[in-house]
Amino acid sequence: MEQTKINMPLLGDDFPELDVQTTHGPMKIPGDLKGSWFVLFSHPADFTPVCTTEFHGFQMLYDDFEKLGCKLIGMSVDQVFSHIKWVDWIDENLKTEIKFPVVAANDQVAMKLGMLHPGKGTNTVRAVFIVDPESKVRLVLYYPQEIGRNMDEILRAVKALQVSDKQGAVAANWPNNELIGDRIIVPPAKDVKTARERMKEYEGYDWWFVHKPYEK
């Protein structure tokens, strides 16, 4: 039996070019979003409980993503008519207006993003792609259908990527790391002279683990 090839954008890759229909009309992704961060997240199916909680959760953080200059885009292989009806249902029953577009992906689009996993049925998995203003893939997450995502972590990841691009590496659970709080990790020294000077220049635990203040 011929094995289906699964494509998956890797970190640092250009996000694949997609021409799609959405609840906000036709879109070219990432072309229409050039110059902006965006989070594209797929869900298995409309009118399902876990996905509904996720859409509600993303919308609750919509303004926070906007403050970071980051757009939200939902996606599944359901038709756009289904998306429209589902978004209306969420508005009417949960009093939550979904302000971000929802893509009606076909199987070809889903395969480009590695969203169809043969071992998980015909629905798309819960994929998350964080893409930077240069249309480079910066973070990829895949969740099974039975587990909902943590939207606060996705928001934190966007902010952490933006901070790390300008200031340096960020620690686990940043900005609330148990060891160094919100401080920024300085890259390890690459030569003996720099290593010996590290502890004189920065606070830290050793020459290879020093940190500096976070510039807000």
Instruction: Report the range of poorest mean pLDDT among 20-24, 87-91, 144-148.
Output: 144-148
What is the arithmetic mean of pLDDT over 86-114?
89
pLDDT, one tens digit per residue, over 11-20 is: 999 999 999 9
Tell me which of 39, 40, 51, 127 is the catalytic residue. 51
Annotated active-site residue 70? The verdict is: no
Q: Do domains 18-149 and 168-216 have the same CATH topology?
A: no
- 3-class secondary structure for the chain? CCCCCCCCCCCCCECCCEEEEECCEEEEECHHHCCCEEEEEECCCCCCHHHHHHHHHHHHCHHHHHHCCEEEEEEECCCHHHHHHHHHHHHHHHCCCCCCCEEECCHHHHHHCCCCCHHHCCCCCEEEEEECCCCEEEEEEEECCCCCCCHHHHHHHHHHHHHHHHHCECCCCCCCECCCECCEECCCCCCHHHHHHHHHHCEEEECCEEEECCCC
Class of the CATH-defined domain 168-216: alpha beta
Average pLDDT, the chain: 90
- pLDDT, position 5: 57
Q: pLDDT class for 2, splitting at 50, 70, 90?
A: very low
18-149 adopts what CATH topology? Glutaredoxin (3.40.30)
Domain ranges of the chain: 18-149, 168-216
